[in-house]
Amino acid sequence: MAAKVIARRSRLHGLGLFAARDLEAGIRLIEYKGVRYPKGELPDLIDDGFTRFLRLSDGSGIDGTGWAALANHGCDPNCELAEEEGSEPPRAYLYTLRPVKQGEELTWDYRLDVASHSEAYSDYACACGTEVCRGTMADPEQFPPAADKAGRG
């Protein structure tokens, strides 16, 4: 079967992942692979503008080095990163959330866990350009938009 994703330069940030062909919703694309860190031994990388680090439900983490780690953040994503049920240790995969056209960039909502509101909107600012862009890659529930930025709608 033909590859589902390709990597190339993104207008969002660095390299990105793109659909190599038309994809339906709910398709499993690729696994989020990298260096695994056990629970309680996660490196202190989050403070370093570091957005490839994935925390898993069991408290362990992956420093993403594979293709999945190339996927950029989007506030109106066409993909999601989800753990496979029952996998031990947890394995996370990128899935399409909706139909995606060939050549479209694949994004997912990072929902980063960051330390402060100002950090969320400076160090982890988002410029995805979508209608619903909230201005940060951080978790929107933890860091809602600042009042002076919530002008839309």
Q: Which burial class, exposed, middle or buried, applies to 110 when counting CB atoms under 10 A from its CB (0-12, 13-18, 19+)?
A: buried
Which of residues 19, 54, 79, 128 is near Zn ion by CB under 5 A?
128
Q: What are phi and psi for residue 12, nearest 5 degrees?
A: -80, -55
Q: Of residues 95, 119, 133, 144, which one binds Zn ion by CB under 5 A?
A: 133
Residues pairing with 37 in the sheet: 61
How far CA 106 is from CA of 27, 28, 49, 52, in Å, comes to 12, 12, 21, 15
Query: The dihedral of CA 26, 27, 29, 33: what is its sign?
Result: positive
Choices 69-77, 98-106, 117-125, 142-150 (CB under 5 A): range interacting with Zn ion: 69-77
**Measured from the CB atom, is 28 or 98 closer to Zn ion?**
98
Smallest distance, Zn ion to C-beta of residue 111, A? 12
29 binds Zn ion (CB under 5 A): no
Q: Does 75 bind Zn ion (CB under 5 A)?
A: yes
Bridge pairing between strands 15-19 and 105-108: antiparallel
Which span (16-24, 55-63, 103-111, 127-135) binds Zn ion, by CB under 5 A?
127-135
In the complex, the smallest distance separating the C-beta of residue 103 from Zn ion, rounded to whole angstroms, is 20
Tell me the site size for Zn ion, rule CB under 5 A: 4
Take residue 79 and report the two structure tokens written for it: 């993909």
List of residues contacting Zn ion (CB under 5 A): 75, 126, 128, 133
